[in-house]
Amino acid sequence: MITDYLNKKTIRLKVEAHDREEAIREAAACLVEDKKIKQEYVEQMIDALHKFGPYIVVIPGIALAHAEAGETVLEECMSMITLKEPVVFGHESNDPVSIVFVIASNTRDKHLEVLMDMSKHLMKKEFIQLLNESEDVEDILQYFKKEEEKK
C-alpha cells in the first residue's frame, strides 16, 4: 500500500530546513507541485502543529505531518523527506526530527489506514536505520516492496 504513494518523486533525501514549518513545507512541496494537495493543506498541517503541539512527532526523530481529510486534498498521497540537519519540533522526548512524512487523504478511513500501515514500519529498528542512513531513494522503495511481498 505504501508503494502506491511513495516513489522517486515523493521521496527526497538530505533536504535543508531551518525550522519545523519549513520542514513540513519541504516535505509537502512535491505533492503541491503535482497538484495532489492544495497549498491550503500545507498551511492546515502547520496550523494543527501550532494549535495542538508537536503530536505529529510520533517516535524519536520522525514526524508524520497530516491535517484533517477534506477538500484541500485532491488525491490521496504521501511524501517523505530526510533532513540534512535535524530540526526541533518542540516535542519533549522525541526531538529533534530528521525524517518528515506527509500523509494526505480525502477520507478519514483511508487516512487512518495509511497511518496504521506506516506505524507498523516505524516500529522496526532496521527501517528507521535505513531511513537515517540511506543515500539512495531506491533503497527505501525496495524496502517497502519487499515488505509488501511478505503480505
How many structural domains comprise the chain?
A: 1
Residue 39: predicted pLDDT: 97
Statement: residue 40 has pLDDT above 70: yes
Looking at 8-38, list the stretches that DSSP marks H as alpha helix, in order from N- to C-terminal side.
20-33
Statement: residue 85 has pLDDT above 90: yes
Question: Please, are residues 65 and 93 in contact by the beta-carbon 8 Å criterion?
Answer: no
Q: Identify the active-site residue in 18, 50, 66, 111.
A: 66
Q: Which range among 14-28, 60-74, 103-117 has the greatest average pLDDT?
A: 14-28
Domain carrying residue 57: 2-149
CA distance 39 to 98: 23
In percent, how much of the chain has pLDDT > 90? 75
Looking at 58-134, list the stretches that DSSP marks H as alpha helix, in order from N- to C-terminal side.
108-122, 125-133
Residue 117: predicted pLDDT: 81
Active site residue 66: yes
* Coil vs helix vs strand at 99: strand
Residue 82: predicted pLDDT: 97
CA distance 123 to 63: 14
| pLDDT classification of 3: cutoffs 50, 70, 90 | confident
Specify the pTM: 0.93
Helix (H) or strand (E) holding 44: helix 39-52
Residue 151: predicted pLDDT: 66
Q: What are phi and psi of 61, to 5 degrees?
A: 85, -5
Residue 111: predicted pLDDT: 66
Share the mean pLDDT of the chain. Answer: 92
CA distance 23 to 88: 10
Statement: residue 41 has pLDDT above 90: yes
Which CATH number does the domain housing residue 117 bear? 3.40.930.10
Q: Which residues of 110-134 are buried (b: 16+ CB within 10 A; e: fewer)?
A: bbeebeebbeebeeeeebbeebeeb
